[in-house]
Structure 1
């Protein structure tokens, strides 16, 4: 994994760079009947409900060294969940109430270095009306301003979800200045998002990059490398014939291809 510790540059004022890590994660499952499809959706809604998503994002906040300001969460009907956490680089500092002037309200607290940062996740479980394929998508955004970096939490987020396909993008926006007034458009080294992934994750996925370093845009798409049909059956079925296994494998792999290449196959 890339060493994220760089020689510290003395800045003029606050670090105004905005670093945004966004990605989609897809889990794919073969659900033979309508009853199985509905059971899969129920399973996903329980496994990734708003409370668990909040726990995951709270861990992310700790990992990147941010401080929580506010949490909003929601479980939706008929399915899906969302969590949004507003964070800051600096801590919340308590301010005493002015007891000498009862007519002027004083704030209970102020935020030091409030820097327009947030962490969000939205989930989208769904299924094909008759092909037997169900999918679960999680959209995650970690946007930080200041020195804290969302890339630190990337491996943990990948491990927190059942993931067959991932589309990850990272972008640094704006600029900050050094003490001499020179603009800095990035404050850390990066050639690829893969630099921030451990070898175990890179070994598990086929990956390709589409990077625009001049614009501080980095994109990596990932597809699970090893395929075992047993991993994609919602309910294990030992009575499947080889032909049935082959048909199911073809459907699941077709779904993977369409998501990975962003194009639906036509007959």
Structure 2
């Protein structure tokens, strides 16, 4: 086990986890598109998002100081929590490269730290593609680390595509006055995901180790059209239409994954 870092005063490192999740859907008619947006708005309203972030705060071992939440008209929701580190750090090495808990295993203001989520439902008026995006930020100071919440967050949403950024900012001093720019070893964000999650997604890393900056993109490997058409069954579509929808959805997902428009 890595020896504990003996610090001079408070741990001043800021650990920031930011990620976007995307849920992609095909809604053929205007009525179906409106029904999908309404479904997403209900599924991920401010109350549900507040519960998800409350679980995140428990996972990372923090206290909630204050919560602000808002449902927007016509669509979307936001939640912001300020959080504080517990007086006593949670048991175990919270920065050890191992997955955090899944949603089913779970029986805010943070002091100098925060958790936020914003949702963005949208639809294409002509192509039939609808997209739900959630932006989540977990920023902590002190001993607590946001990495243990990543596994839980991915499984709390229908995540077709996930982009994750993790960065350690600032420095802290040890008892001898030496500056430390990170308080834990790290090779990849993927180390904090379960084996099942890693198997379900195709992943790509872009890491800048000398700057403690880590980036991972994820896209589901398996594509089942039934999971992407809203208001109809894939079996009821003729082959030509099913192939066309499949091609549109795949193009949309790849464009989001690679962050560029494709021909």
Match status 1:251 vs 2:255: no
Which structure has the larger Rg?
1
Match status 1:82 vs 2:82: no
Unaligned stretches of 5+ residues in structure 1: 92-113
* Cα separation, 1, equivalents of 2:175 and 2:61: 25
* Cα separation, 1, equivalents of 2:204 and 2:236: 38
User: How far apart are residue 8 of structure 1 and its match?
Assistant: 1.2
Alignment equivalent of 1:262, drawn from 253, 259, 263:
259
Alignment equivalent of 1:62, drawn from 52, 58, 71:
58
Checking the alignment, whether the CA contact within 8 Å between 1:53 and 1:121 is kept in structure 2 is yes
Q: How many correspondences in the alignment? A: 240
Secondary structure at the counterpart of residue 133 of structure 2: strand
User: How far apart are residue 127 of structure 1 and its match?
Assistant: 0.2
Alignment equivalent of 1:127, drawn from 123, 127, 130:
123
Q: CA RMSD in A?
A: 1.1
Secondary structure at the counterpart of residue 67 of structure 2: strand
The 5 Å alignment of 1:109-258 reads 115-237=111-233, 238-258=235-255
Could you give the per-residue CA deviations for residues 98-157 of structure 1, whole angstroms, max 9, x where no partner exists? xxxxxxxxxxxxxxxx74100000000000011000000000000000010000011000
Unaligned stretches of 5+ residues in structure 2: 88-109
User: How far apart are residue 7 of structure 1 and its match?
Assistant: 2.4
Secondary structure at the counterpart of residue 226 of structure 1: coil
Q: TM-score, normalised to structure 1's length? A: 0.88
Checking the alignment, whether the CA contact within 8 Å between 1:75 and 1:81 is kept in structure 2 is yes
Checking the alignment, whether the CA contact within 8 Å between 2:61 and 2:86 is kept in structure 1 is no
User: How far apart are residue 243 of structure 1 and its match?
Assistant: 1.1
> After the TM superposition, which of the residue ranges 136-145 and 228-237 deviates more from structure 2?
228-237
* Cα separation, 2, equivalents of 1:262 and 1:131: 19
Could you give the per-residue CA deviations for residues 43-78 of structure 1, whole angstroms, max 9, x where no partner exists? 000000000000000000000000101000000001
